[in-house]
Amino acid sequence: MPSSPVPYPSVIARNVSYDEYLARDFERRVEWVAGDVIEMGDITYDHALLVKWLLRVLAGFVEANYRGLVLLAPFNMKLPGRPSGRCPDLMFIAESERGRIREKDLDWPADLVIEVVSPTSGPTDRGAKFYEYEAGGVREYWLLDPQRQSAELYVLVDGRYRAVAPIDGRYASVVLDGFWLDVAWLWDLPPVREVEAALGLR
């Protein structure tokens, strides 16, 4: 778990309201934090492949077992507290919160957020976003780093994130009962149909 907040990456505009941020086209991948428009980290090949694979696996599970939906970046999630409009790589939103989804953002913390770390996004994913998601009420946070082949899962307990250890090499979601991933899959990316069979979807 991070020990203290870290600096944000490059700020490309300041004193921008959240509504203005949503209305403008910045022609770059950006997020909004307390009036600052911040450039997001670069996307690598490994990052793109893992996000695509996770989207298929997670969306398939949600469609088969839950009422809700899975959204991916660059859709905004607006958080209270230190106001921010972040764009998680993936987020699960329960059906009960569907009414919070607007044209350009989710006006509420997602139930589950997954961030895939890229070479330039690590300090933000492990630092600023960690604390914002914790304070904002994101119930579960997965932090996956394909370059280091490391995976971390955090669950919100009494307002603080608690690290959850893998059991027999598997991480099991608390928010999505029955959803689990073998950590080794995250680096090998087996065929989705094989994962779906392991999850009981086939």
Query: How high is the pLDDT of residue 3?
Result: 41
pLDDT in tens, 24-38: 988 888 999 999 999
Mind spelling out the 3-state secondary structure of the chain? Answer: CCCCCCCCCCEEECCCCHHHHHHCCCCCCEEEECCEEEECCCCCHHHHHHHHHHHHHHHHHHHHHCCEEEEECCCEEEECCCCEEECCCEEEEEHHHHHHECCCEECCCCCEEEEECCCCCHHHHHHHHHHHHHHHCCCEEEEEECCCCEEEEEEEECCEEEEECCECCEEECCCCCCCEEECCHHHHCCCHHHHHHHCCCC
Could you tell me the pLDDT band of residue 9, with boundaries at 50, 70 and 90? low
Query: How high is the pLDDT of residue 202?
Result: 76
pLDDT in tens, 154-195: 999 999 999 999 999 999 999 999 999 999 999 999 999 999
* pTM of the shown model: 0.91
pLDDT in tens, 85-116: 999 999 999 999 999 999 999 999 999 999 99
Residues in the chain: 202
How far is it, in rounded angstroms, from Cα 161 to Cα 20?
32
150 backbone φψ class: left, alpha, beta (φ>0; ψ -120 to 50)? beta
Arithmetic mean of pLDDT, 113-137? 91
How far is it, in rounded angstroms, from Cα 126 to Cα 121?
9
Options 3.90.1170.50, 3.50.30.10, 3.40.47.10, 3.90.1570.10; which CATH number does 41-198 get? Answer: 3.90.1570.10
Arithmetic mean of pLDDT, 59-72? 93
Please give the share of the chain, as a percent, with pLDDT higher than 70.
96
